[in-house]
Amino acid sequence: MRFRDLKRQYQVLKAGIDKAILDVAASGAYIMGPQVKELERELADYVGTRHCISCASGTDALTLALKAWGIKQGDAVFVPDFTFFASAEAVSLEGATPIFVDVDRETFNIDPADLADKIEATLRKGDLTPKVIIAVDLFGLPANYPALRRIARKHNLHILEDGAQGFGGTLNGKRNCSFGDISTTSFFPGKPLGCYGDGGACFTDNDEWAALMDSYRMHGKGSSKYENVRIGMNSRMDTIQASILQVKLKAFAEELAAVNKAAAEYTARLTDIVETPVVPAGCLSSWAQYTVKLNSKPERDGLQAYLKGQEIPSMVYYPTPMHRQKAYANLGLSESECPVADRLCDTVLSLPVHPYISSEEIDEVCDAIETFLHREKGDRKEKE
């Protein structure tokens, strides 16, 4: 069993992917070939934005957005505490300061109430200027954008949607990667829509920001690649990756339906055994991860070890909250900065899920979880 079975996906899509790769190899246009522009149009149409600007990774996509807004030293950017390091790393690389915000324990996404408190605290302190809210669509579920937009308007802040795990999810019929003033995603192989290497994209309706991000991704180009009007970066998409994504995008609707079916099977089996993921009304998740919560760190770690012994893969996303990462020790943050994130880091466990997982495999995972927890319950009773 694989955590996210990319080999099985390849076998299903093999004919189209092989042809796409060979067509690029024969064309000689290996970087920013015509397939890249075609893909950008297809992605913009799918998401529902005016512009899609592809780039070399999801992290670069965040960087391009921050550069387009001129984020710099002295600026405060509000980042969920429970997320992958890149969400804050991009902020620091621009010289700005990430302010970590606690998350909702049910959705895992940024908590609007704590965000409002953190913005007010930053304003009172006065040494940083609030500029941006980064909302991460964690594990495939859209953040609470109506609440976030009200806060952003109140304080005149931009929203940067980090949809690295969220491509394909929806909120009230609107697709993820369309909620931010600029939105980003990642095409890392394990993401809901993944290529065979690194890749990313930015989405926006703003013509000026789109032009700036297009310039920044190609060394700050002006009217041509040999006219450089700003200091930029090298973040172009390889044509082979774009061609693979075109094939996968055609199959994406079917895969999205299949992974939601798999998640529903997990939930039906596990609801009375562990705390299963919550999908609020009006939301559709793209299920980058199916993440359950256990009662304690020892229980979570014990279950993960047991599953490994049964040759069932699982992952902990994430073992350390952002405010306790060594890279941010210089910020002098309190150990109790974000208590919900702290608790989640000790109790979450992500199970194998992908569009091609079988019902038999789901049953195998659920049976193993039930066996372990039943045994643990018996052991506790004996000790009592």
Burial grade of 156 (CB within 10 A; 0-12, 13-18, 19 or more): exposed
Amino acid symbol at 14: K
Q: Please state, for a pLDDT cut of 70, what percent of the chain lies above it.
A: 98
Q: Do domains 6-247 and 252-383 have the same CATH topology?
A: no
Q: What is the pTM of this model?
A: 0.96
* Separation of alpha carbons 223 and 292, rounded Å: 50
The number of helix segments (H) and strand segments (E) in the chain equals 11, 12
Residue 383: per-residue pLDDT: 60
* DSSP at 120: H
Count of other CB atoms within 10 angstroms of residue 228: 14
Residue 235: per-residue pLDDT: 98
> Which CATH entry fits the domain spanning 252-383: 1.20.1250.20, 3.40.50.2000, 3.20.20.70, 3.90.1150.10?
3.90.1150.10
Average pLDDT over residues 36-41: 98
Q: What burial letters (b/e) apply to 30-41, b meaning 16+ CB within 10 Å?
A: eebbebbeebbe
pLDDT in tens, 112-130: 999 999 999 999 999 999 9
Amino acid symbol at 352: P
| Annotated domain spans of the chain | 6-247, 252-383
φ, ψ at 292 (rounded to 5°)? -100, 165
* Separation of alpha carbons 251 and 190, rounded Å: 16
pLDDT in tens, 333-362: 988 899 999 999 999 999 999 999 999 999
Distances (CA, A) of 49 to 202, 264, 316, 371: 10, 30, 33, 47
Average pLDDT over residues 321-329: 96
Q: Where are the alpha helices (DSSP H) in 94-233?
A: 112-125, 145-155, 207-216
* Separation of alpha carbons 191 and 167, rounded Å: 8
Overall fold of domain 6-247? Aspartate Aminotransferase; domain 2 (3.40.640)
